[in-house]
């Protein structure tokens, strides 16, 4: 999804969750920050 829609907040959040599950916290943080930039009220 993110390859086609890099601004998809839901997909960014879900990928961040997957990164957290695999202890890739730095990558999770990047996705969460990007999601907040796109939609700060979400």
CA distance 36 to 23: 21
Closest CA to 8 of 29, 31, 41: 31
Burial class of 34 by CB neighbour count within 10 A (0 to 12, 13 to 18, 19+)? middle
pLDDT, tens digit, 9 for 90 and up, residues 2-42 = 999 999 999 999 999 999 999 999 999 999 999 999 999 97
* Nearest-angstrom CA–CA distance, 13 and 20: 11
Model pTM? 0.89
Residue appearing with tokens 């979400």: 42
């Amino acid at each position: 999804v993110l390859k086609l829609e890099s601004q998809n907040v839901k997909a960014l959040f879900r990928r961040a969750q997957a990164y957290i599950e695999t202890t890739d916290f730095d990558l999770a943080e990047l996705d969460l920050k990007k999601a907040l930039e796109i939609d700060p009220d979400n």
